[in-house]
Amino acid sequence: MNSRKPFFHGPWRRAALAHRRTRRELLTWPAPVRGMLWMVLGGILFTCLNTLARGLSMQLDVYETQFLRYLFGLVVMLPLVWRHGWQAYRPVNIVGQFWRGGVHTLGLILWFTALPNIPLADMTAIGFTGPIFIMLGAAWFLGEPMHRDRWVAALIGFAGVLVVVLPKLSGSGGWYNLIMLASSPVFAASFLITKALTRYEKAGVIVLWQALTVTVFSLPMALPNWQTPTLVQWGAFAMTGVLGTLGHYCLTRAFHTADISATQSLRFLDLVWASVAGWLVFGDVPSQWTWAGALVILGATVWIARREGRRPAEVVPD
């Protein structure tokens, strides 16, 4: 009988023990601090994802890049489907899943069209408008009350967008900033559909069907200008699938661990990560207008998040 331990037994065991010790230590930290750490980690992962996606979209057709990014996101989830079985991921409302996938694909078309043509920092600053569009959409389509504070935050946030976008409209490719901005309300609509679906769908089901439907809807646009990726590009696409899945996991843990008002103030760090990545990889240097507009947008977002956090919760009947 061979009593030798497998080659990786020692390293894997030490890694598992270190993970348990680290997890026990982190659990002793206050919940808001742990939520903020998850938020920071998620922001770094999404910055890496966006950097890879921008680089790939500058080498290949943007719609092929969109298709392969979500195809590999789907591939990353297949082991979970294999482990738990297809029945665990069958949706209650398949029509709603396809509606959400279609709306999200529309937002991605706009996003990927603009992605190769604007700096990462500008893209991140414009993305700060997302929570404001979600707030407005929740009032108009879900019937949530639109308090005066929310209108003020929306107007201030829109002013911040103008600070970022208007100085660039006269330059080469300046209109791509407006295309990127147009993707924000579309993604907000996708988020609101997601919120409606969470009433009777599990999170894993929604994530899987988003990857599946976006992949299906993106394929027809990817085929006309298809160019077979190189081995390095295939590896980069595989990495986008991993980064996207891990990033969404970190954000989910952040929102589960801490109040959203506690995590929103850290979103400005996303602009720092994007500026560093854009400078190192693409040689982009953010303008003073980008930083000024981002501060205005983020200030409006953080202000309304904190106001909402202090607002008495409404009683929802069973």
User: Which residue, 298, 303, 307, 267, is CA-closest to 160?
Assistant: 298
pLDDT of 318: 30
pLDDT confidence of 313, banded at 50, 70, 90? very low
Q: What pLDDT shows up at residue 287? A: 82
Select from 92, 108, 129 the least CA-distant residue to 53.
108
Check residues 262 and 34 and name the one with the higher pLDDT. 34
Give CA–CA dist 233/100, Å, rounded: 29
Dist. CA 27–CA 30, nearest whole Å: 8
Tokens 């890879």, located at residue: 52
Higher pLDDT, 84 or 317: 84
Instruction: Find out whether 212 and 101 touch, Cβ atoms under 8 Å.
Output: yes
Q: How far apart are CA 271 and CA 111, in angstroms?
A: 17
Question: How confident is the model at residue 239, as a pLDDT?
Answer: 96
Give the closest residue to 38 by CA, choosing from 50, 26, 48: 26
Tokens of 140: 């108009």
Residue 7 pLDDT > 70, yes or no? no
Cβ of 103: how many Cβ atoms within 10 Å?
21
Which residue do the tokens 């894997």 mark? Answer: 12
pLDDT of residue 249: 81
Confidence of residue 40 (pLDDT cuts 50, 70, 90): confident
Question: What tokens appear for 220 in the block?
Answer: 């027809």
CB proximity list for 277: less than 8 A, separation 6 or greater = 47, 48, 50, 51, 120
* pLDDT for res 157: 78
pLDDT score for 316: 34
Token output for 247: 């990033």
pTM of the model: 0.78
- State residue 292's pLDDT score: 86
Report which secondary-structure segment, H or E, holds 35: helix 31-57
Highest mean pLDDT range out of 11-15, 231-235, 246-250, 289-293? Answer: 231-235
Q: Would you say 286 and 275 are in contact if contact means Cβ atoms under 8 Å apart?
A: yes
Please give the Cα distance from 200 to 212 (Å, whole number).
Answer: 19
Query: Are residues 180 and 114 in contact, defined by beta-carbon separation less than 8 angstroms?
Result: yes
Among 55, 90, 121, CA closest to 291: 121
Q: Are 190 and 183 within 8 A, CB to CB?
A: no
Residue 249 makes CB contacts below 8 A (sequence gap 6+) with none
Q: If residue 194 lies in a helix (H) or strand (E), which one and from where to where?
A: helix 175-197
CA dist., res. 102 & res. 174, Å (int):
27
Compute the half-sphere exposure of residue 109: CA atoms within 13 Å on the CB side of its CA.
14
Is the pLDDT at 241 greater than 70? The verdict is: yes
Q: How confident is the model at residue 253 (pLDDT cuts 50, 70, 90)?
A: confident
Cα(66)–Cα(266) distance, rounded to whole angstroms? Answer: 28
Please write the tens of the pLDDT for every residue from 60-106: 999 999 999 999 999 988 898 898 888 888 998 899 999 999 999 99
pLDDT tens per residue across span 153-193: 778 877 887 887 777 776 666 789 889 989 999 998 988 88
Can you read off the two tokens belonging to residue 314?
């409404």
Contact assessment for residue 207 and residue 155, using Cβ atoms and an 8 Å cutoff: no
